[in-house]
């Protein structure tokens, strides 16, 4: 796969994950008794923000996503192991396994895909160039008005 495909997949996973984390807050307006801890609001909004920031070519967002993916894989594997060891619901254990596999893909793409890193660098450079040109236009306009 090309770098743009990996970038889009990882960004989609993080943004979709953030939206899923925010669903209980939207449902709390419609259904009584839905518990909504504040950490879910912070985590959901943070996932969406980091995903969008990453799509703009940020290396810092890439590092944050790597850390988040590692935590996801560790948590999912731990929950899956506990559920399988206690003969709990196998379907839920399979869901944790699938979430761990998605997190594993994110780790692989973010850490080891040369194509993704090249695309991220290309995007970051293009956005910095555009922002620099826009900034220069603004400064030129301001200096023309002051004269």
Among residues of the chain, what percentage have pLDDT more than 70?
99
Give backbone dihedrals phi and psi of 73, rounded to 5 degrees, phi first.
-65, -45
Domain count, the chain: 1
Burial label for 17, CB within 10 Å (0-12, 13-18, 19+), is buried
pLDDT, the chain, mean? 92
Residue 105 has pLDDT above 90, yes or no: yes
pLDDT at 11: 96
Contacts 24+ apart (CB under 8 A), 98-107: 99/72, 100/72, 100/73, 100/76, 102/13, 103/69, 103/70, 103/72, 103/73, 103/76, 104/69, 104/73, 105/9, 105/13, 106/10, 106/13, 106/14, 106/65, 106/69, 106/72, 107/66, 107/69, 107/70, 107/73
**What confidence tens digit (pLDDT) does each residue in 24-74 have?**
888 888 888 777 888 889 999 999 999 999 999 999 999 999 999 999 999
Give me the pLDDT at residue 38, please: 85
Task: Give residue 134's pLDDT.
Answer: 94
Residue 120 lies in a domain: yes
pTM (predicted TM-score): 0.85
108 domain residue, yes or no: no
**pLDDT at res. 29:** 84
Q: Above 80 in pLDDT, residue 109? A: yes
Q: Identify whether 102 is part of a domain.
A: no
What range does the domain containing 59 cover? Answer: 3-69+114-146
- Residue 90 is assigned to a structural domain of this protein: no
The confidence score (pLDDT) of residue 34 equals 77
């Amino acid at each position: 796969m090309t770098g743009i495909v990996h970038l889009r997949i990882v960004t989609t996973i993080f943004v979709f994950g953030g939206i899923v984390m925010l669903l209980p807050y939207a449902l709390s307006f419609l259904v009584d008794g839905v518990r909504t801890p504040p950490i879910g609001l912070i985590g959901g909004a943070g996932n969406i923000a980091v995903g969008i920031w990453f799509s703009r070519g940020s290396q810092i967002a890439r590092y944050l996503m790597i850390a988040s993916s590692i935590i996801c894989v560790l948590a999912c594997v731990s929950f899956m192991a506990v559920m399988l060891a206690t003969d709990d619901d196998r379907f839920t254990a399979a869901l944790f396994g699938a979430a761990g596999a998605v997190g594993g893909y994110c780790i692989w793409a973010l850490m080891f895909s040369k194509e993704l890193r090249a695309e991220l660098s290309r995007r970051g450079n293009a956005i910095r160039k555009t922002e620099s040109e826009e900034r220069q236009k603004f400064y030129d306009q301001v200096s023309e008005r002051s004269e």
